[in-house]
Amino acid sequence: MISNKPMDIPCSLQERKILEKIALAAKDLHLPAYLIGGFVRDKILGRRTKDMDVVCVGDGIALAHKVAESLGEKVPVSFFKTYGTAQVKWNELEIEFVGARKESYRQESRNPEVTEGTLQDDQNRRDFTINAMAISLREEDYGSLLDPFNGMEDLEAKIIRTPLEPSQTFSDDPLRMMRAIRFASQLQFTIVQEAFTAIQENAERIRIISQERITDEFNKIMLSPKPSVGLDLLYKSGLMKIILPQMVDLVGVEMLEGKGHKDNFYHTLQVVDNISQNTRDLWLRWAALLHDIAKPATKKFEPGHGWTFHGHDALGGKMVTRIFSKFKLPMGDKMRLVKKLVELHLRPISLTKENITDSAIRRLLFDAGDDIDGLMLLCEADITSKNKVKVKRYLENFELVRARMKEVEESDRIRNWQPPITGEMIMEIFGLSPGRVVGDLKTAIREAILDGEIPNTYEAAYAFMLEKAKSFNLTPVK
């Protein structure tokens, strides 16, 4: 046993066992080793964490192999010789090993020149003081916190500060600007003024960072407890203008004839926060972020009436595709969901009016399908009025819509409904090959059922189809 002295961070028994093994392996190889970075930070904060980062003065890959060996026979090690890093996966845990290093950067790239260094050199290259704290795994001071930049104080004060000069830190690796804002949003910390000013000055340099890394940090902001914190910082730093300029177009209020409209940027941020209180689903949060994205492009002033944004739902749907592609987000089901919610986000509101027919309810259920619950969450989040009486009334209206939808769904089962006559059947009955007529007939049948014009049965649909086919000069071939 290396030591049974208590550690400066709270660890589970399981974690202590692993750390002990790492310490023993490091001792065998005569390598001073330390826990560092996110694990130390998160343990002090009491956050859940699965990744351990270990730095050693010497060969990190050799240490990783030795540790893997002591953990069991077939514990795999993946390593990158060029970077001197290695990873050991053991049960739920991922342990990252690296040799302590010193980095020097050149202007045009975020890849530094790397040379071997001391623990202090390695702490210098860390992005924030709260991420530079280390816990010794050496026998002589096992478990002690090594905190040259007072990260502990900053954790207590909830501030984000760079160990070295901020402008240099952000210019060297501009991804750190996104990380600063992400931590501010995740941990609800404040970025010190000097560092924030440095981000504003270096914002342009984000262009040398790959979209994947930017998107990764952006999504972490979207998943934070109150995403508006990070989104507003992205705006105020000038980064939003570069990475997602369509969001910045939402900023501001225009006045004409004494009539203004709401600031759609801050409205959107509120909608994202609102939905985040009810769901951790990243894509529903994205739908909230983009629901009004086409408002600037569709904005018009109608004299005597006021501002309108006609068609911002449909155009918004198109913009979702473009933004997902630029952000390298998945273009399949996730994109389709966000697009659909943006396109449909005004529909439940129109159902809160009086005298709504069952067919209007059926139509929305059909169009939204299984995404109806997400859509209702979005619509409820979209209520950002400061007037409590209004908010209450709007929410009650949506409750009524929900109740009506439940009734209609129970009697008609429309959510996953398919019309009783398919395109294939139409082609077979009339001896047609695929083409517009088939589509038109299929749509006509579907619409007639959704409108309640005919019952939802095969017989009724068949009779309706024969009637309709006459106007296309079609007769059944059998």
Residues in the chain: 478
Query: CA angle at residue 396 from 394 to 397, to 5 degrees?
Result: 65
Of residues 37-56, those binding ligand ATP (CB under 6 A): 37-38, 51, 53
442 in Cβ contact with 426 (< 8 Å): yes
Tell me the site size for ligand ATP, rule CB under 6 A: 11
**Lookup: tokens for 179:** 């990380």
Residue 292 contact among Mg ion, ligand ATP, none, beta carbon within 5 to 8 Å by kind: none
Residue 345 contact among ligand ATP, Mg ion, none, beta carbon within 5 to 8 Å by kind: none
Q: Which of 290, 321, 170 has its CA nearest to residue 227?
A: 290
Q: Which of 243, 236, 233, 180 has its CA nearest to residue 211?
A: 243
d(CA 127, CA 162): 6
**Lookup: tokens for 453:** 């014009």
286 in Cβ contact with 379 (< 8 Å): no
Q: How far is the CB of 50 from Mg ion (least distance, A)?
A: 8
**From 124-132, 140-148, 291-299, 404-412, span contacting ligand ATP (CB under 6 A):** 124-132
127 in Cβ contact with 176 (< 8 Å): yes
Q: How far is the CB of 32 from Mg ion (least distance, A)?
A: 22
Indicate the pairing of strand 145-146 with strand 85-90.
unpaired
Q: Which is nearer to Mg ion, 38 or 238 (CB)?
A: 38
Exposure on the CB side of residue 69, measured as CA atoms within 13 A: 10
196 in Cβ contact with 230 (< 8 Å): no
**From 23-31, 112-120, 172-180, 239-247, span contacting ligand ATP (CB under 6 A):** 172-180
**From 146-154, 174-182, 304-312, 321-329, span contacting ligand ATP (CB under 6 A):** 174-182
**From 14-22, 171-179, 230-238, 455-463, span contacting ligand ATP (CB under 6 A):** 171-179
d(CA 407, CA 405): 5
Q: Which of 5, 47, 51, 471 binds Mg ion (CB under 5 A)?
A: 51
Place of tokens 């992400």: 182
Q: Would you count residue 216 as binding Mg ion (CB under 5 A)?
A: no
Q: How far is the CB of 287 from ligand ATP (least distance, A)?
A: 24
Q: How far is the CB of 356 from Mg ion (least distance, A)?
A: 50
Q: How far is the CB of 130 from ligand ATP (least distance, A)?
A: 8
Our CA dihedral for 75, 80, 81, 87, rounded to 10 degrees, sits at -40
Q: Would you count residue 285 as binding ligand ATP (CB under 6 A)?
A: no
295 in Cβ contact with 264 (< 8 Å): yes
Q: Would you count residue 176 as binding ligand ATP (CB under 6 A)?
A: yes
**Lookup: tokens for 433:** 């090959």
Q: Which of 3, 38, 144, 267 binds Mg ion (CB under 5 A)?
A: 38
Q: Would you count residue 362 as binding ligand ATP (CB under 6 A)?
A: no
Q: How far is the CB of 398 from ligand ATP (least distance, A)?
A: 36
Residues that bind ligand ATP (CB under 6 A): 37-38, 51, 53, 126-127, 131, 173, 175-176, 179
Residues that bind Mg ion (CB under 5 A): 38, 51
